[in-house]
Amino acid sequence: MSRKQSVRPRPGKKAGIERKRDERAARRALAKERKNRAGEAGDAEEFVSFTNQLQVLGLRMREVPGDGNCLFRALGDQLEGHSRNHLKHRQETVDYMIRHRDDFEPFVEDDVPFAKHVENLAQPGTFAGNDAIVAFARSNQVNVVIHQLNNPLWQIRGSDKCNVRELHIAYRYGEHYDSVRHINDNAETPSNLQTEMSSKDESNRKGKQKSNPSDERQGDAVQKVRNATGCADVHLILQSLEAESYDIESTIQVILQMEELKHIADIGPDYIAEEGGCYGRPERTGNHGTVSETATGPKAAQPEDTADPRNVPEENKDNQKFSNKQRKEQQRLQKKKRQEEKHRQRVQELRISNMDNNRQEEEDRDAAGVTVVKALTALNI
């Protein structure tokens, strides 16, 4: 037996090597097939749908090459404004995973030893997955936000601090990452996007937590107030609902008071509403001619023989009692009017305050170059 024949590999070992070679070839073929699908109608339609979904948020994709380095290219574009340092980001991510082996080793797939996994990951062109995103986020103390078609945002948190910088990337075709930027951002500068949840809890007047109603519930509330009050001013109803923390019963009472005061103001001072009726300015005919009275008492001068209260006729006493009743009613309505005026001021102050706060937030964000990304739901990882 020759020496060359004596060192031949065992059949089992050779089969294992060939099997691994075949598996790698199959994975490369699958990756190539998926990339080729990008030109097919189905994937083209998916790309258009994804683009439209981002446009609604004021965003767009900045595509990066699909060479196996796409994740680190996309993250580098977010972090630095370009993707040329993707190999550096890859190595830093691998180094972080090695330093924090206990955090990542349990999640290595396919029963591959951890040392082999990070060795493969360090090679250029090797596809990187979720563990690499987590390591990158923690290493750079950022949050990575992943956009997917028809799915909630994924937020991979690299820090527990507030106002942490966010890097936004798009995951599509089940294997490729792109950078996500503002729709008009073509500059080679770091991206500056910040997610803001659209549904936030607000505390009501009594200190209880109440969520801002959805558009459908808000429309129902407006309709209920309109049906109960007959008020057609939707803007006024919305303002009152907001001031009353969307308490429908309280809003109805406020609107009714406002409508009543408006009705009195339209009628004028000659009429006072009471118990569903109106008292006009009566005229009476007495011994001294016709005397016109206002709602607050006799308008004409009293004759000399009635200057003394003891000489006031019974008819005048009745009219005086009637005038006192009207005067009390006027005082009650004036008090109600003052309350309504306070309510109007409170609504106006609330509206101005909200506008000022929103304007200040926008100015602060503009000064910092931050683009707000509205989101209804997000999954934190």
DSSP string, 77-100: HHHHSSSTTHHHHHHHHHHHHHHT
Rounded Cα distance between 329 and 169, Å, is 68
Predicted local confidence at residue 6, as pLDDT: 45
Rounded Cα distance between 286 and 316, Å, is 10
Predicted local confidence at residue 374, as pLDDT: 65
Predicted local confidence at residue 112, as pLDDT: 87
Alpha helix locations (H) across the chain? Answer: 3-6, 11-36, 41-56, 70-80, 86-99, 101-104, 114-121, 130-140, 215-229, 234-243, 248-267, 314-368
Residue 273, strand partner residues: 278
* Element holding 153 (H helix, E strand): strand 153-157
- Domains identified in the chain and CATH numbers: 45-191 (3.90.70.80), 202-290+328-360 (no CATH)
Predicted local confidence at residue 205, as pLDDT: 40
* C-beta of residue 236 within 8 angstroms of C-beta of residue 255: yes
Q: What is the pLDDT along the chain (381 residues), one digit of tens a residue?
A: 444 444 455 555 556 666 666 666 666 666 665 555 555 556 778 889 999 999 989 999 999 998 999 999 999 999 999 999 999 999 999 999 999 999 999 988 778 899 999 999 999 999 998 999 999 999 999 999 999 998 889 999 999 888 899 999 999 988 899 999 999 998 999 998 998 876 444 334 444 334 456 666 777 888 888 888 888 788 788 878 877 778 888 888 888 877 766 665 555 544 444 444 444 444 444 444 444 444 444 444 444 444 455 555 666 656 666 677 778 888 888 887 787 777 777 777 776 766 666 666 556 555 556 667 766 555 666
Rounded Cα distance between 158 and 164, Å, is 9
Predicted local confidence at residue 92, as pLDDT: 97
Catalytic amino acids?
A: 67, 70, 176
* C-beta of residue 183 within 8 angstroms of C-beta of residue 372: no
The amino acid at residue 266 is: D
Predicted local confidence at residue 288, as pLDDT: 45
* Reported pTM: 0.50
Closest by Cα among 77, 180, 86, 81 to 127: 86
Q: What secondary structure does DSSP assign to 18-77, as a single string? A: HHHHHHHHHHHHHHHHHHHGGGSHHHHHHHHHHHHHHHHTTEEEE----SS-HHHHHHHH
Closest by Cα among 176, 188, 149, 159 to 57: 149
Backbone angles phi, psi at 143, to 5 degrees: -105, 130
